[in-house]
Amino acid sequence: MSLRILLVRHGLSSFNLEHRIQGRDDLSSLTEEGVKQALATGEALRDLPITAAYSSPLRRAHDTATALLAAQGGGLEPRLDNDLLEVDLAPWSGLLSSDVQERFPEAYRTWKQHPEQLELQRADGSSYAPIPELMEQARRFVDRLLAEHNPANPTPQTVLVVGHNAILRCLLLTLLGLDASGFRRLRVENASLSVLNLSAEADGAVAVQIESLNGTTHLHPEVCGGRLPAKGAGPRLLLVRHGETDWNRQGRFQGQIDIPLNENGRAQAAAAGNFLRKVSFQRAYTSSMARPRQTAEGILSHHPGVPLTSVRDLVEIGHGEWEGCLESEISEGWGELLAAWKRAPETVQMPDGETIHDVWDRSLRGWNTIAASLHSDETALVVAHDAVNKTILCALLGLSPADIWAVKQGNGGVTVIDYPNGPDQAPVVVCLNQTAHLGGVLDRTAAGAL
């Protein structure tokens, strides 16, 4: 990683509190709670040197950035950038969401279901498409950001970007190479923190890894165990990676060899259990292997009576002859294949093992079966493995088997997926790879091997 990008949404604003449409009008301001959120985010980032900071010029974002940077203590001032302005919803700005829904029912339905297809009219009568325009705005910002903070630079850089709900979603989609149809797959809370790691590849391309999305635990340090974003309508699934094993710590490819948790892994499971102890689980599922089952049992120690079901489809990728080996040992015997696995994992057949396509098919079969079994108000825990979780999350985000390196899964990390319109409709990645319960807002779990 040579470039780390921290994406932060502005704190709670007066219009957020009143459920009004804000858009890019500068009519709302930070509430007292919004200021507290900005300060809490800055305090959470205090030990992280920030190279540069950018902010939307709208005051709710600018004030968030200013308060955050003051609390962070690095002495930076935010650089205001018009390409971080919020989506242009001028005909609706200032209206209550309920009023928009009542006065413009078809347009509001499009906004909620297919926002990339929404068209509105400007004051001069001309029509425009807010989200496609915002995607172009995001592309401009990303291009300029990468030109100024080149990931090929060997000196690590950390850049803070403070913006708004819609523009941050479009920035995420742009960085991941996705189109606007994925807009509703993401959720961005007030003062949430998303962390992306960028690096330069040999061919000049930029590799993007999501370390975490929409983290909010830092906003509630007084709440023992932290707090997840609120659940709405529809079923919710919490996807957790198992705790650390000795082979994770050593960097061995463990695959389907049934290595148990080590002492740190058991502590991570206990920490995840404490983090999730106030969640109301109706069901729980685990890979049939020891390390996820031990992790699930640690979490469920706070939830007596919740049934735990083993799912064979969720077992880790079969590495075949690589299992039990260090990367250096694999490099000696399968150097070209290992390089291909790192560069283009979708092309690799593990020696006497599986392909990522094999894992993709079975992990999604298992996940979709679980999701389809849930009632609308139920929440389920699912504990599995690095490759399994990556394939599930790539599919939910609209990525492909070629993109598994774009998603990080830390030992004991927690991801939340909602199905607001039912399990047969598009899911929402509420937050991804939350590891603050393990210490700090960055994922500091074992790098391991995959």
The structural domains of the chain, with segments of one domain joined by +, span 3-218, 228-438
All residues at 6 or more sequence positions from 147 whose CB lies less than 8 Å from its CB, including other chains: none
Question: What is the Cα–Cα distance from 179 to 197, expressed in whole angstroms?
Answer: 20
Tens digit of each residue's pLDDT (9 = 90 or more) over 85-104: 999 999 999 999 999 999 99
| C-alpha 13: how far from chain center | 23
Tell me, what's the pLDDT at 188?
A: 98
- Which two tokens mark 61? 């974002």
- 258, exposed or middle or buried, with CB in 10 Å at 0-12, 13-18, 19+? middle
Tens digit of each residue's pLDDT (9 = 90 or more) over 19-78: 999 999 999 999 999 999 999 999 999 999 999 999 999 999 999 999 999 999 999 999
pLDDT at 232 over 90: no
Which fold would CATH assign to domain 228-438? Rossmann fold (3.40.50)
Q: How far is CA 322 from CA 254, 338, 349, 356, in A?
A: 8, 10, 12, 15
Q: For residue 1, what pLDDT band results from cuts at 50, 70 and 90?
A: low
Q: For residue 440, what pLDDT band results from cuts at 50, 70 and 90?
A: confident
Q: Which of 229, 174, 199 is nearest to 7 (CA)?
A: 174
CA dihedral 339, 342, 348, 349 (to 10 degrees): 90
Tens digit of each residue's pLDDT (9 = 90 or more) over 366-407: 999 999 999 989 999 999 999 999 999 999 999 999 999 999
Q: Name which CATH class applies to 3-218.
A: alpha beta
If one counts every other C-beta atom within 10 angstroms of the C-beta of residue 416, the result is 22
Tens digit of each residue's pLDDT (9 = 90 or more) over 424-439: 899 999 999 999 999 9
pLDDT at 223 over 80: no
The rounded percent of the chain whose pLDDT value lies above 90 is 92
Tens digit of each residue's pLDDT (9 = 90 or more) over 101-125: 999 999 999 999 999 999 999 989 9
Average pLDDT over residues 168-176: 98
pLDDT at 239 over 80: yes
Fold agreement between 3-218 and 228-438: yes
Tell me, what's the pLDDT at 123?
A: 87
Tell me, what's the pLDDT at 37?
A: 97
For the chain, what is the mean pLDDT?
95
- 48, exposed or middle or buried, with CB in 10 Å at 0-12, 13-18, 19+? middle
| C-alpha 174: how far from chain center | 14
The rounded percent of the chain whose pLDDT value lies above 70 is 98
Exposed e or buried b for every residue in 347-363, given b needs 16+ CB within 10 A?
ebebeebbbbebbbebb
User: Tell me, what amino acid is at 162?
Assistant: V
Task: Judge whether 43 and 222 are in contact, CB under 8 Å.
Answer: no
Tell me, what's the pLDDT at 449?
A: 75
Average pLDDT over residues 336-346: 96
Task: Judge whether 411 and 268 are in contact, CB under 8 Å.
Answer: yes
- Which two tokens mark 423? 């399990």
Q: Which residues are catalytic?
A: 242, 316
Average pLDDT over residues 148-167: 96
Tell me, what's the pLDDT at 140?
A: 98
pLDDT at 193 over 70: yes
Q: For residue 341, what pLDDT band results from cuts at 50, 70 and 90?
A: very high
Tell me, what's the pLDDT at 204?
A: 85
Tell me, what's the pLDDT at 450?
A: 80
- Which two tokens mark 410? 């830390």
Q: Which of 382, 429, 396, 384 is nearest to 282 (CA)?
A: 382
Tell me, what's the pLDDT at 79?
A: 98
